[in-house]
Amino acid sequence: MDKTFNAAEAEARIYQMWEEAGAFKAGANASRDETFCIMLPPPNVTGHLHVGHAFNHTIMDMLTRWKRMQGYDTLWQPGLDHAGIATQLMVEKDLAETQQPKRTELGREKFLEKVWEWKAAKGGTIEQQARRLGDSMDWSRSAFTMSGAESAPATEKPGNFHDAVLKVFVEMYNKGLIYRGKRLVNWDPHFETAISDLEVENIEVDGHMWHFKYPLAGGDTYEYVEKDEDGNVTLRETRDYISIATTRPETMLGDGAVAVHKDDERYAPIVGKLCEIPVGPKEQRRLIPIITDPYPDMNFGSGAVKITGAHDFNDYEVAKRGGIPMYNLMDTKGAMRSDGKPYAEEAAIAQAIANGEQEFDEAMIAAMNMVPEEYRGLDRFEARKRVVADITAEGNAVMTTKMLKNDEGEEVETTVPYVEDKKIMQPFGDRSKVVIEPMLTDQWFVDTAQIVGPALDAVKEGRTKIMPESGEKVYYHWLENIEPWCISRQLWWGHQIPVWYGPEMEIDDEGRRTFNFAEFKKICASTEVEARNDFEEYYGFKTVIIEGPEESREAWDQAFGNIALTSILRRRESEVGEFRDAIPIYRDPDVLDTWFSSGLWPFGTLGWPAEDEAMKYFPGDVLVTGQDILFFWVARMMMMSQAVLEQDPFHTVYLHQLVRDAKGEKMSKTKGNVIDPLDMIDAYGADALRFSNAQMAALGGVLKISEDRIKGYRNFGTKLWNAFSFAQHYEIAYPGDPVRPDATQTLNKWIIGETGKVRETVDAAMEAYRFNDAADALYAFTWGKVCDWYLEFSKPILQGDDAAAKAETEQALRWVLDQCLILLHPIMPFITEELWQLADSRKKMLVHADWPTYTAANLVDADADREMNWVIDLIDNVRSARAQVHVPAGAKVPLLVTGLDAKGQSAWDNNHVLIQRLARIESLSHVDDFPKGCVTIPMAGGTFGIPLADLIDVAEEIARLEKTMQKLSKELGGLRGRLNNPKFVASAPDEVVAEAKANLALRENEEAQLKAAIARLAEIG
């Protein structure tokens, strides 16, 4: 054997062996019908392995290997997520770097070809990296969320995930669970797409709060009164304006109202009146109403809030409640709109609306551009500056005084605009890093309110358990307040929404058909053919597919010429005669949110909607993922599985925290504290990293990865390795698959019992998802019991002449070491498999070895247990005493004993060889009294002593004994205090009282021995 395990060489070789043997295939090693299935949270196809993956893969792999060894029909399902935005971004960057045409220049079809090319060439590195961790996934089943898409090239691995996505969309659409609507969504001006709430990061940044005056219409005035808490008037003045505070002045252009709280006495006189938005051309200043709403906080700012329904989520709610028009001010890039009619016209209409003179609807408002010409086309942040400057120049900024240096450098009181520096929470796109703009757009939504019920019930009724439990509260809180889920994205890479639009057809009383391009008819179908069939049936007319809505009118004109729509069909039939054209329809250009497809992961990967044998793995068992993804993904899988299959996708959700660095800080490239798991594997081997991961997997615990710790577990691996090297050194045969002997030797009985205990502990810990307990128990057993004691104890027998004892011990030792390998395999698969293969022949690879079922009850021999613990105790005490009185480590000393009882005597007789060897004892003599200068070692069943004659420093020995006494007294005090307390004896459970009594007796015995020893020494002293 090599001196240490060569992880770098062995891991690749072993992994290859497993993979070639199909060791991880679904159902491999199955000896029973029960299935065990874990779905890997699919990493982005662009992804790389980071410490978070390394952590949760370790958990999943431990569970999978454990269940596979237990004979379950096991599947750990791998795969990749197409990751809409991330991938599209990556490919666009790649195009730019390689001087290829841009996405928009390529067009949709060509661009998608590029994405697929990119995926084939560079995607999925993470799957190779995962192999280095030892992940036992069934790679042959690796799934992809875009498999089977129309755009997929023939070279791609076949799959039907796309079918699943479309089928679910169509079904949910037909059930009314998916709708299209205009709502305020988070808009990413960089990618020009809607994104979900969860893709928004709120970051606190330095911002400003501006205070402006909105003059009352017609120069009206009112008495503005401020009072303190006691109702005393602190300010009274006549105002002709209402003061508004805002962090986003550019959105003033879209204000629809000013809101105040109904209880706010300051503004009571002017509620219902109109005020003027103090920006834009003087001639067309818009007047907006002052309304009441519960939203404004009377104590914040001036207490009055401008309402811009199209650009703020709170305002949106207020505007909806109050029927306030929501004017959209920006284009898809976040610049001020430059389309629509001249401002003067738009402002006139808006005024009519505000005055209540004109009806309005959503579509009409959406088309209106309330941006004055001077701001049109400006970037939103540039527009902000200009708006602030213009308002201030006109004198509508609220002013305050401040000490500023004048031209001569003197501090003088100066009147300046009132602008507060303020920390504001600003939303950023988690991918694009640009400021997210709330935008009023047409999007597709899942009506989550309708499907959330069963997902909530699953947890409430205990069908699905969230670990740690605190996750359940968070889950309820989120699901009970769930918002509609915006599922459309204005991207190209993804599942294109399977909805086609054509002009709405109306048939009048005379049977004349008219077509309406303002109201499109939607048909949802899983294929284009089906959609066209449906449309053609509807129109009774041929259709033609065109690109998008902007072309629809054009296409129509091209097809039919400039003919009045109302009579198109009649004229066509009678006048056009030869008929070559068709009604244009187009497919929705948007794609689905990536999370819509990954929500189907639990069954989409198993062949659904096709009938597939693999569906036996649904529902799966455990979902292991980061806490941050509970809403993104877990809740959605639960909703979608119920909505589609009416089943819960798994019974347990194991949530873990973000993996941080050793100091508990988030890892980030800018901080430079990123730990690459592959570097750790290179340096210490995958097993060490995995053990470290298992060990820190305390439920709900903070995950801090530390290189020192990983190194420590590498050392643990070496310890295990050396235990085998020990066996080899003693030339213990290793035929393979050792059988547990019927032990007669105490030490063998004892270690077999300890093995029984640890197996139970490990299984209990694994079942409770307490992986740290499993790892700690195995560490303590392997190192602390097997290596530190058992191997040491076995030496005299292995070197001795008792052939029977030797044979039994060799067999027991092989068996125990085998058990270490089996029990450690789920955590440390490589080194254990390597050691397993040292045997001459094995029935199976370790990865498929049978997980043991023996119990402590079967294997523990109470007498052997007691005896060995006594032996260990004695050795410990002798060693400790020797070290403290500075007996040279190598020196062999005689040992004395007084009052040794029968049990003690028999324990000594059975094990004296071990004791003498490990405690370096020359001989044992029974004496009535200890001689002068003797170190005392109190033990159950007798007092031991080491005579040191002149060697002993009496004072030092007294000090040592007194120190022990002190500790003992503390304990005795506690025990006596409790037992003397009648209430304790009366109210504590009997076994607790009994235990305390027994403990007290033991301690009192020890105390007596110590007292005697101290007295003896005092005499000499």
Partner RNA sequence: GGGUGAUUAGCUCAGUUGGUAGAGCGCUUCCUUUACACGGAAGAUGUCGGGAGUUCGAGCCUCUCAUCACCCA
- The residues facing 288 across adjacent strands are 275
Q: Which of residues 977-1006 bind RNA (CB under 7 A)?
A: 978, 981, 983-984, 987-989, 992, 995
Q: Which of residues 305-344 bind RNA (CB under 7 A)?
A: 313-314
Cβ-proximal residues to 83 (8 Å cutoff; 6+ apart), any chain: 44, 45, 46, 47, 594
> What does the block give as tokens for 1005?
């015995």
Determine, following the binding rule CB under 7 A, whether residue 726 of this chain makes contact with RNA: yes
**CB closer to RNA, 4 vs 284:** 4
Overall residue count recorded for the chain in this entry: 1021
Query: What distance in Å separates the CA atoms of residue 762 and residue 775, rounded to the nearest whole number?
Result: 8
Query: What distance in Å separates the CA atoms of residue 375 and residue 391, rounded to the nearest whole number?
Result: 13
- Helix and strand tally (H, E) in the chain? 33, 34
Nearest approach, Cβ of residue 222 and RNA (Å) = 31
Tokens 């063998």 label which residue?
748
Q: Which of residues 681-700 bind RNA (CB under 7 A)?
A: 696, 698-700
Q: Which of residues 174-233 bind RNA (CB under 7 A)?
A: 197-198, 200-202, 204
Q: How many CA atoms lie within 13 A of 448 on its CB side?
A: 20
Residue from 437, 773, 808, 833 binding RNA (CB under 7 A): 773
Q: Which of residues 886-945 bind RNA (CB under 7 A)?
A: 889-890
Determine, following the binding rule CB under 7 A, whether residue 718 of this chain makes contact with RNA: yes
Residue from 717, 753, 756, 829 binding RNA (CB under 7 A): 717
Query: What distance in Å separates the CA atoms of residue 175 and residue 229, rounded to the nearest whole number?
Result: 55
Interface stretch with RNA, choices 34-42, 722-730, 897-905, 931-939 (CB under 7 A): 722-730
Residue from 715, 837, 906, 1005 binding RNA (CB under 7 A): 715
Interface stretch with RNA, choices 235-243, 511-519, 707-715, 836-844 (CB under 7 A): 707-715
Judge whether 326 and 365 are in contact, CB under 8 Å: yes
Query: What distance in Å separates the CA atoms of residue 573 and residue 540, rounded to the nearest whole number?
Result: 12
Q: Among 766, 820, 855, 856, which residue's Cα sits nearest to residue 72?
A: 766
Judge whether 189 and 332 are in contact, CB under 8 Å: yes
Q: Among 339, 338, 309, 332, which residue's Cα sits nearest to residue 193?
A: 332
Interface stretch with RNA, choices 45-53, 589-597, 610-618, 723-731 (CB under 7 A): 723-731
DSSP 23: T
Nearest approach, Cβ of residue 38 and RNA (Å) = 22
Nearest approach, Cβ of residue 703 and RNA (Å) = 8
**CB closer to RNA, 317 vs 382:** 317
**CB closer to RNA, 792 vs 861:** 792
**CB closer to RNA, 715 vs 906:** 715
**CB closer to RNA, 314 vs 332:** 314
Q: Which of residues 847-886 bind RNA (CB under 7 A)?
A: 876, 879-880, 883-884
Tokens 């304006």 label which residue?
241
Nearest approach, Cβ of residue 788 and RNA (Å) = 4
Determine, following the binding rule CB under 7 A, whether residue 704 of this chain makes contact with RNA: yes
Judge whether 504 and 513 are in contact, CB under 8 Å: no
Residue from 354, 546, 787, 893 binding RNA (CB under 7 A): 787
**CB closer to RNA, 184 vs 1017:** 184
> What does the block give as tokens for 881?
């005493």
Residue 674: CB atoms within 10 A of its CB come to: 14
Displacement of CA 347 from its chain's centroid (Å): 49
Q: Which of residues 585-614 bind RNA (CB under 7 A)?
A: none
Query: What distance in Å separates the CA atoms of residue 553 and residue 517, rounded to the nearest whole number?
Result: 7
> What does the block give as tokens for 814?
């092989």
Phi-psi region of 134 (alpha: psi -120 to 50; beta: other; left: phi over 0): left
DSSP 221: -
Q: Among 370, 492, 432, 448, which residue's Cα sits nearest to residue 84?
A: 492
> What does the block give as tokens for 839?
């045997």
Query: What distance in Å separates the CA atoms of residue 630 and residue 607, rounded to the nearest whole number?
Result: 25
> What does the block give as tokens for 569?
């069909």
Interface stretch with RNA, choices 54-62, 120-128, 789-797, 815-823 (CB under 7 A): 789-797
Nearest approach, Cβ of residue 387 and RNA (Å) = 24
* CA distances, 862 to each of 161, 321, 706, 901 (Å): 58, 75, 40, 19
Interface stretch with RNA, choices 212-220, 328-336, 343-351, 790-798 (CB under 7 A): 790-798
User: What H or E segment, with its residue span, contains residue 200?
Assistant: strand 200-215
Interface stretch with RNA, choices 269-277, 510-518, 617-625, 787-795 (CB under 7 A): 787-795
Query: What distance in Å separates the CA atoms of residue 589 and residue 576, rounded to the nearest whole number?
Result: 32
**CB closer to RNA, 454 vs 712:** 712
**CB closer to RNA, 192 vs 788:** 788
Nearest approach, Cβ of residue 577 and RNA (Å) = 60
Interface stretch with RNA, choices 40-48, 137-145, 398-406, 973-981 (CB under 7 A): 973-981
**CB closer to RNA, 398 vs 988:** 988
Classify residue 917 as exposed, middle or buried by CB count within 10 Å of its CB (0-12, 13-18, 19+).
middle
Tell me the per-residue interface mask from 949 to 968 with RNA, x by CB under 7 A, - otherwise: --------------x-----
Judge whether 896 and 923 are in contact, CB under 8 Å: no
Determine, following the binding rule CB under 7 A, whether residue 725 of this chain makes contact with RNA: yes
Nearest approach, Cβ of residue 705 and RNA (Å) = 8
Q: Which of residues 794-833 bind RNA (CB under 7 A)?
A: 795
Determine, following the binding rule CB under 7 A, whether residue 972 of this chain makes contact with RNA: no
Nearest approach, Cβ of residue 696 and RNA (Å) = 6
SS3 at position 178: strand
Determine, following the binding rule CB under 7 A, whether residue 729 of this chain makes contact with RNA: yes
Tell me the per-residue interface mask from 232 to 271 with RNA, x by CB under 7 A, - otherwise: ----------------------------------------
Nearest approach, Cβ of residue 509 and RNA (Å) = 51
Residue from 120, 235, 352, 768 binding RNA (CB under 7 A): 768
Q: Which of residues 357-396 bind RNA (CB under 7 A)?
A: none
Q: Which of residues 633-672 bind RNA (CB under 7 A)?
A: 658, 662-664, 666
**CB closer to RNA, 317 vs 530:** 317
Tokens 């053609």 label which residue?
536
**CB closer to RNA, 77 vs 916:** 916
Nearest approach, Cβ of residue 479 and RNA (Å) = 13
DSSP string covering 923-956: EEEE-SSPPSSEEEEEETTEEEEEE-GGG--HHH
Judge whether 338 and 380 are in contact, CB under 8 Å: no
**CB closer to RNA, 837 vs 884:** 884
Interface stretch with RNA, choices 456-464, 569-577, 703-711, 898-906 (CB under 7 A): 703-711
**CB closer to RNA, 352 vs 1002:** 1002
Displacement of CA 857 from its chain's centroid (Å): 40
> What does the block give as tokens for 780?
């303590």
> What does the block give as tokens for 1014?
């101290």
By CB under 7 A, how many residues form the interface with RNA? 73
Position 81, amino acid: D
**CB closer to RNA, 663 vs 669:** 663
- The residues facing 733 across adjacent strands are none
Nearest approach, Cβ of residue 310 and RNA (Å) = 16
**CB closer to RNA, 450 vs 715:** 715
Q: Which of residues 470-489 bind RNA (CB under 7 A)?
A: 470, 473-474, 477
